[in-house]
Structure 1
Amino acid sequence: MTGRSGVSRVALALVVALLAGVGLIGCGAAEPVGRVTVLGSWTGDEETTFRAVLARFEDETGIRAEYQGHRDVSQVLQAGIERQRPPDVAILPRLNDLQRYVNEDAVRQLDGVAGLIDDPAAGRQLIRLAARTGSDDAPTRVYAVAIATHLKSVFWYDRARAAAAGLRQPPRTWDELVDRARTVRDGGGMPWCLGLSSPPVSGWPGTDWIEDILLHRSGQRAYESWTRGELAWSSPQVRDAWRTWGQLLSATPSPEARRAGLFSTWAEAGAGLFDARGGCHLDHQASFAVREYRKPPRSAGDRVDFFPTPPIGSADTGGLQEVSDDIAAMLRDTGPARKLMAFLASESAQQVWRRASGGLFFSRRGPADSYPDQVTGRVAARLGTGTLCWDGSDLLPAPVATAFERATLVYLHQPERLDELLKELDGLAGTVSRTDWMDLRCHPAAE
């Protein structure tokens, strides 16, 4: 899931009102003692859970933590930076936003934060970047901490419905996955839970499909080259990923059923897993979907299960996993901000998060045996094994990521336009400065 830069007049007015309402601190203002301001994208149940984490921080340190949640966090943060009134700490859902702020010297490096850098267990959570300003001389430093991680290379299903359809074993290869989808269709069912609507950034569930297919069809090197802007959208590898997605969706009973996915949210589509009178059989969605599956009246904790994205073709890609992170960055270097950054990465904070979320919070740090059931424990275990590759659209420059999301919507409706869409994406990518592209490689989970 991605944020956006650039603020319209209406959005800017809203942002200014929000900033004024929560009293984010200006650089020239007197700094309150024992206070830290936090901006993030979490609202609703997620905000309630995060506030429980902040409450523990307040209890342990005596520092008051003031949180503001807003779904379009990128706009709010950009406006705060431009007005020289940033929060002390921001939770970012897009890594490329972090790269932009590093380039602009708007975030503070964390190499000297006590309790964070000297915690060996926090090592796999640290995000190291160099400012990309056209020179290769900038040192690589720690600029953020991954505090929540979502496993994306998975397919979810209802065990009871799968057994009733005679589908008792998860697919081990892509061909077996295709056969499973066709079996469901031939039996009169809907194979895929397809929902690409997610205002204000609809289309990202489609980008997850294509990224996952590219990773498991063409492998790590091709995937990394594409996220760096070095592998063209019109290349055989990327084009094949789109076509493979289209061929998989062809198992959907009708073009009208596929197009319905344009108007369904990912949560609405996933609810179809538990609709015994119809619904759908397989949901390609990140691990955060478990929160939706377990909400009343479904409460499907004892029924929902998952299997990893299988290798496609002869490539040995079974150990590769796409993930996305919510990352914490420090925009004002204060004592309270440093303490909060160290706390958010700590096992103490992770324990509170797991308990407050009912075991539905995942990170790179949490041991699998700390989760309440087999399914969530398996998600946590997979985050600790294999090779993890960041969500591709989270690494792409914002204009390219936005165009990618929109292209998946067009492709779902008009697959015959694929070559035209890829040409447009290549043209746009060519206009983006090299300093706006990231160079974050896949890495072993145990690092």
Structure 2
Amino acid sequence: MSAPGSGPATAAPGTRRRPSRHLVRVIAVVASCLAVLAAAVVVGVRALGQEPTVTLLANWTGGDAGHFRDAVIAPFEHEHHIHVDYQGSSAESQVLSADVEAGTPPDVVVLTGPGELADYAGRGQLFPVEDLVPEGAFGTSWATPLHGHVYWFPLKADVKSIVWYPGRTGDRQLRQAGGRPDQWCLGMGSGATSGWPGTDWVEDILLQQSGPGIYQRWARGLLPWQSKEVERAWRTWGELVGAGKSPDLVARALKTEYQDASQLVARRPRQCTLEHQASFVRAYQPWKDAHGSYKPSSELIPGAAARNTWEVSGDLVALLHDTPQARQLIRHLASTDAQRAWNAEESGFSVHTGAQPTAGSDGSWHRSLAGTLLDPEAVHCFDASDAMPPPVRDAFAQATIDFLADPRHLDDLLKNLDSLSSNEELTWVPSVCDRRT
């Protein structure tokens, strides 16, 4: 209330004076100017370097990138007053390589491959992060020591040793479908990284047929590609998906992008029944519509002898610039809160010991897969191609495409992979499985 005798005359009791049109215009103009000024101040502060900035490169785009910004990055920026300059790219390996070559790498990177990160660590491009990660938060298969230090840890994880199928499909139907190449949904396309769905197949078959000991030796470059175990895995995959047998079927697999393979389930009549794919595929609409369920791949892979043994993958965080703001971001990404926030929308799973996931919107499968990743009695082996040095990884992916088109060249493909793997300058990850084998 104004003091008596000050300001304009008051309105009659019970009424409210409407501000003049001129006053409304003045207020609107002032408000607009203040908004512009506030935005300019923010831009100016960042431009002058008064607000610390940390650059982050990852492979998430679209909805995943939006969720990552909202659930993980925004709380960090609000709490620490550090701006995160995020770049998402589906070709992040190529982007990172070019940035490193130009001398302008990001401060923090999230990559799927420990093999690629080991290569950067071997060249002195990464900084240790063991003092930034809570002790005991991650197992050694996820935060693998290298040269006496830990250079990466997972932000999200997925299970790969699984086969998806439409709900209410009986066991007999599944076994019958598993023996028919046309019933496997397979898409080999993925831009610059095409072929990786084939590497997942070969890796998982080797793991389930020959066990984690053989798998780990091979993933570390200690078992030849021309060994009987590895060759058997390739030929088993060829028989399952019809490599070289049906031109139409092979053409379908080679022309289909991996993320579109599940679309074949939704067609009428249905074009396939089974998909060997990581746990993230359950979020795809065709599998949601089909009430997708899954079985361990060991139940459908011929000659599988391993039990409770799983191929897994993860998005791994690493530090390229040791700045205070980058270290603060690393601490945040390794925290229980950030790990739990990223998992809240079922974009993936956390293997952080303190970030147990909630049931989610589809509790049964979500709890089951989360339990598989955290099961202390299970054997978890990291995706072998992701753990291999980049030149070997890339040649492996290309070889699966060549083999699918014409399996008669398998001997030459394996011989070439052995030749590449023998390069003594390559850096191999010391372990990929979380239990000694």
Relative to the length of structure 2, the TM-score reads: 0.81
> Is 2:95 aligned against 1:72?
no
Instruction: Give yes or no for contact 1:214–1:241 (8 Å, CA) kept in 2.
Output: yes
Pairwise CA distance, 1:35: 2.1
Instruction: Give yes or no for contact 1:126–1:142 (8 Å, CA) kept in 2.
Output: no
**Aligned residue for 1:83?**
102
Distance 1:257 1:110 in 2: 46
Percent identity of equivalent pairs? 35
Instruction: Give yes or no for contact 1:233–1:425 (8 Å, CA) kept in 2.
Output: yes
Give the paired residue count: 383
Instruction: Give yes or no for contact 2:197–2:258 (8 Å, CA) kept in 1.
Output: yes
Distance 1:371 1:325 in 2: 20
Instruction: Give yes or no for contact 1:322–1:389 (8 Å, CA) kept in 2.
Output: yes
**Aligned residue for 1:46?**
64
**Aligned residue for 1:63?**
82
Instruction: Give yes or no for contact 1:368–1:378 (8 Å, CA) kept in 2.
Output: no
Which digits, 9 at most, give the CA deviation of each residue in 1:197-228, with x for residues without a partner? 11111111001000000001011111111111
Distance 2:229 2:140 in 1: 30
Aligned partner of 1:442 among 427, 433, 437? 433
**Aligned residue for 1:98?**
117
Change (3 A) 1:435 1:418: closer
Distance 2:311 2:48 in 1: 43
Distance 1:328 1:94 in 2: 10
Q: How does 1:2-401 map to 2 (within 5 A)?
A: 33-52=51-70, 53-113=72-132, 116-118=133-135, 120-122=136-138, 127-130=143-146, 139-160=147-168, 162=169, 167-168=170-171, 177=175, 179-182=176-179, 190-250=182-242, 254-291=246-283, 293-294=284-285, 298=286, 300=288, 303-310=291-298, 316-355=305-344, 358-365=345-352, 366-373=355-362, 374-385=364-375, 386-401=378-393
Question: SS at the partner of 1:443?
Answer: coil
299-308 or 260-269, which moves further after superposition?
299-308
Question: SS at the partner of 1:288?
Answer: helix
Change (3 A) 1:81 1:338: same
User: What are the ranges of 5 or more consecutive residues in structure 1 without an aligned counterpart?
Assistant: 1-28, 131-138, 172-176
Pairwise CA distance, 1:434: 4.8
Question: SS at the partner of 1:310?
Answer: helix
Question: SS at the partner of 1:323?
Answer: strand
Q: How big is the alpha-carbon RMSD for the aligned residues of Structure 1 and Structure 2?
A: 2.6
Change (3 A) 1:444 1:423: closer
**Aligned residue for 2:5?**
none
Change (3 A) 1:170 1:117: farther
Change (3 A) 1:121 1:370: farther
User: What are the ranges of 5 or more consecutive residues in structure 2 without an aligned counterpart?
Assistant: 1-46
Distance 1:101 1:399 in 2: 13
Relative to the length of structure 1, the TM-score reads: 0.79
Distance 1:266 1:289 in 2: 10
Distance 1:350 1:81 in 2: 28
Pairwise CA distance, 1:428: 2.3
Change (3 A) 1:348 1:208: same
Pairwise CA distance, 1:266: 1.4
76-85 or 94-103, which moves further after superposition?
76-85
Change (3 A) 1:302 1:58: farther
Pairwise CA distance, 1:33: 4.4
Pairwise CA distance, 1:72: 1.8
